[in-house]
A and B are shown apart, each in its own frame.
Chain A
Amino acid sequence: MPHDSAAAADGPVLRLGEAHPGDRGVILEVRTPPAGSTGGVDPAELELRLLEFGFVEGAQVEVLHEGLLGGDPIAVKVDDMRVALRRGEAMNVILAPEAV
Chain B
Amino acid sequence: MSSLPVATFALVGNPNCGKTALFNALTGGRQKVANYAGVTVERKEGLADLPDGRRVRLVDLPGTYSLRARSPDEAVTRDAVLGRLKGEPAPDVILCIADATNLGLVLRLALELKSTGRPVVLVLNMIDIAERQGIAIDTEALSRGLGAPVTATVATRRRGLEALLELAADQVGREAATPEGGWREPTAKEVRDAHRQARDLVRVAVKPPSRPDTLTGRLDSWFLHPVAGVVILLGLLFLMFQAVFTWATPAQDLVEAGFAALGAGAAAVLPAGWLTGLVVDGLIAGVGSVLVFLPQILILFLFILLLEDSGYMARAAFLMDRIMGGAGLHGRAFIPLLSSFACAVPGVMSTRVIDSRRDRLTTILTAPLMTCSARIPVYTLIIGALIPNRTVGGVLSLQGLVMFGLYASGILSALLIAFLIRKVFWRGGSEPFMMQLPDYKRPEPANLARNLGQKAWAFISRAGRIILPLMVLVWALSIWPAPPPGAEGPAIAYSAAGRLGRWLEPVFAPIGFSWEMVVALIPGMAAREVAVAALGAIYAVGGEDGALAGILARQWSLASGLAFLAWYVFAPQCVATLAVVKRETGGWLWPSVMFAYMLALAYAAALLVFRGATALGLG
Bound pair (A, B): yes
**A residues apposed to B, CB below 8 Å:** 32, 38-41, 44-54, 56-58, 64-73, 75, 79-86, 88-89
B199, B217, B220, B432 — most chain A CB neighbours (10 Å): B432
CA distance A75 to B314 in the complex (A): 11
Which residues in A have their C-beta under 8 angstroms from that of B158? none
Answer yes or no: B358 CB below 8 A from chain A CBs. yes
CA distance A33 to B432 in the complex (A): 12
Of the residues A69, A73, A82, A85, contact of B216 by C-beta under 8 Å: A82
Q: How far in angstroms is the closest Cβ of chain B from A93?
A: 11
Given contacts A39-B428, A39-B429, A45-B70, 6 further A-B contacts (CB under 8 A): A39-B431, A40-B359, A64-B217, A65-B225, A65-B318, A69-B322
Answer yes or no: B269 CB below 8 A from chain A CBs. no
Of the residues A44, A45, A51, A82, contact of B436 by C-beta under 8 Å: A82
Nearest chain A residue, comparing its CB with the CB of B212: A80
CA distance A98 to B607 in the complex (A): 61
A84 touches B430 (CB 8 A): no
A40 touches B429 (CB 8 A): yes
CA distance A44 to B189 in the complex (A): 11
A69 touches B104 (CB 8 A): no
Answer yes or no: B105 CB below 8 A from chain A CBs. yes
**B residues apposed to A, CB below 8 Å:** 65-66, 68, 70, 101-102, 104-105, 108, 188, 191-192, 195-196, 199, 216-217, 220-221, 224-227, 229-230, 314, 317-319, 321-323, 325-326, 331, 356, 358-359, 428-439
B314 touches A57 (CB 8 A): no
Of the residues B191, B192, B431, B432, contact of A85 by C-beta under 8 Å: B432
Of the A-B pairs whose beta carbons lie under 8 Å apart in the complex, a sample of 11, sorted by A's number, is A40-B356, A40-B428, A47-B188, A49-B434, A52-B105, A53-B436, A68-B230, A81-B104, A81-B436, A82-B438, A89-B434
Which residues in A have their C-beta under 8 angstroms from that of B321? 67, 72-73, 84, 86
CA distance A64 to B188 in the complex (A): 27
Q: How far in angstroms is the closest Cβ of chain A from B431?
A: 5
Nearest chain B residue, comparing its CB with the CB of A39: B429
Which residues in B have their C-beta under 8 angstroms from that of A72? 321-322
B437 touches A75 (CB 8 A): yes
Q: How far in angstroms is the closest Cβ of chain B from A77?
A: 9
CA distance A88 to B322 in the complex (A): 12
A75 touches B220 (CB 8 A): yes
B429 touches A80 (CB 8 A): no
Which residues in B have their C-beta under 8 angstroms from that of A41? 356, 431-432
B432 touches A88 (CB 8 A): yes
Which residues in B have their C-beta under 8 angstroms from that of A32? 188
A84 touches B356 (CB 8 A): no
Which residues in A have their C-beta under 8 angstroms from that of B438? 82
CA distance A21 to B191 in the complex (A): 28
B434 touches A53 (CB 8 A): yes
Nearest chain A residue, comparing its CB with the CB of B355: A41
Question: A-B pairs with the 7 shortest C-beta distances?
Answer: A39-B429, A82-B437, A68-B226, A65-B224, A69-B322, A56-B195, A51-B191
B199 touches A83 (CB 8 A): no
Q: How far in angstroms is the closest Cβ of chain A from B539?
A: 49
Q: How far in angstroms is the closest Cβ of chain A from B195?
A: 4
CA distance A58 to B197 in the complex (A): 13
Q: How far in angstroms is the closest Cβ of chain A from B131?
A: 16
B225 touches A86 (CB 8 A): no
A52, A68, A72, A79 — most chain B CB neighbours (10 Å): A52
B322 touches A39 (CB 8 A): no
Q: How far in angstroms is the closest Cβ of chain B from A45?
A: 8
B191 touches A66 (CB 8 A): no
A57 touches B192 (CB 8 A): yes
B436 touches A83 (CB 8 A): yes
A40, A75, A82 — most chain B CB neighbours (10 Å): A82
Which residues in A have their C-beta under 8 angstroms from that of B439? 82
A79 touches B226 (CB 8 A): no
Of the residues A39, A52, A68, contact of B430 by C-beta under 8 Å: A39
A73 touches B188 (CB 8 A): no
Which residues in B have their C-beta under 8 angstroms from that of A49? 70, 432, 434
B220 touches A40 (CB 8 A): no
Which residues in A have their C-beta under 8 angstroms from that of B216? 82
CA distance A41 to B536 in the complex (A): 52
Which residues in A have their C-beta under 8 angstroms from that of B68? 48, 52
Q: How far in angstroms is the closest Cβ of chain B from A68?
A: 4
CA distance A86 to B436 in the complex (A): 13
Q: How far in angstroms is the closest Cβ of chain B from A89?
A: 5
Q: How far in angstroms is the closest Cβ of chain A from B207?
A: 13
Which residues in A have their C-beta under 8 angstroms from that of B435? 83-85
CA distance A96 to B575 in the complex (A): 56
Nearest chain B residue, comparing its CB with the CB of A46: B432
A51 touches B432 (CB 8 A): no
B104 touches A54 (CB 8 A): yes
Q: How far in angstroms is the closest Cβ of chain A from B292?
A: 40
Q: How far in angstroms is the closest Cβ of chain A from B222?
A: 10
Q: How far in angstroms is the closest Cβ of chain A from B328?
A: 11
Which residues in B have their C-beta under 8 angstroms from that of A69? 322-323, 326
Of the residues B318, B359, B428, contact of A84 by C-beta under 8 Å: B318
Which residues in A have their C-beta under 8 angstroms from that of B326? 69
CA distance A56 to B359 in the complex (A): 28
A39-B431, A82-B216, A84-B437 are known contacts. Are A70 and B322 too (CB-CB below 8 A)? yes
CA distance A85 to B330 in the complex (A): 12
B226 touches A80 (CB 8 A): no
